[in-house]
Amino acid sequence: MQKTLKKSFEINDIGLHSGNMVRMVVKPAGANAGIIFIRTDVSDRNNVIPALWDNVVDTRLCTVIGNEAGVTVGTIEHLMAALRGCGIDNAIVELDAPEVPVMDGSSAAFVEAIDAAGILDQDTKRKAIRVLKEVSVEKDGKRVTLSPSEDSVFKGKIVYSHPVIGTQEHAMQLVNGNFRHELADARTFGLMRDVEAMRAAGLALGGSLDNAVVLDDDKVLNKDGLRHDDEFIRHKLLDAIGDLYLAGAPILGAYDGQCAGHAMNNDILHALFADDSNWESIDMQDVMATSEKSKLETAIA
């Protein structure tokens, strides 16, 4: 069944790029509503933006969605990942600023708020998008592939020259709420020299050691170090889960991101939906029933 929140929750924190305080209220929504963002500080034009792949307008530093009126909301990926990881199908996200609060640079605070608000079952079947054929996008040696799978699987690899990061790989099946303990606390990261350059350009004004893993040329600058030895690839997969939830429903398929980021995550959704033979919309209960039947037949055999 579809799920929403039992009650609303409010979060107040700074925006990563503006450095200004943001008030965000996440509310329950009716069945089949999906995830909807509303800019409460905009009253002179349409301020509603459905969280969908074809509403993405920028992917350079984060994922930004917008509507035809030019109203945008950025840095949505960590919240979207938390909603996907907690199984929330329908929610209204109200913001009084053009970006989601950054918190500690991960999804952990959003997951905690969702769990505290509670999750409500709705009397409507949950839809999923099943990948039927492999689709892939590749650019500048980077690649993202979606391939058929009866589960939601996320696999990734990154390669950095930085000695602390190096080459990292991680893979997981998104099931039974394991997002909470495997990926949710993995923070965004960057090099100090890049942060300084962005600030000089008027970006990342809210960035600090409180909301990102920051590295100099040979070490992590955060006093408490890393939360996982491979926190960097875990965060990349967190981003991918949030970006792919812009499909409008959970994807049943295997994601493989090789040195990928927000742009290619959106590109793969464009590639998937470019051909109706690549995918189908199905009821999750039908998939679960088929899976249980298969397990029973295997056990009997």
Active site residues: 262
CB-based contact 249:129 (threshold 8 Å): yes
What kind and span of H or E run contains 239? helix 231-244
The span from the CA of 13 to the CA of 21, in Å, is 5
- Give the whole-angstrom CA distance, residue 37 versus residue 235: 23
Closest residue by Cα to residue 236 from 209, 216, 214, 256 = 256
> Which residues lie closer than 8 Å to 133 by C-beta, 6 or more apart?
148, 275, 277, 278
Pair 182, 156: CB distance under 8 Å: no
Which strands, in side-by-side order, build the sheet including 48-50?
Answer: 9-14, 21-28, 91-95, 35-39, 48-50
H or E segment at 202? none
For the CA atoms of 14, 15, 20, 26, what is the dihedral angle to 10 degrees?
A: -70
> What gap in Å lies between CA 245 and CA 84, rounded to an integer?
6
Of 31, 26, 174, residue with least CA distance to 110:
26
Q: What angle do CA 167, 170, 172 make, to 5 degrees?
A: 170
From residue 229, alpha-carbon distances to 55, 168, 186, 275 in Å are: 35, 9, 10, 39
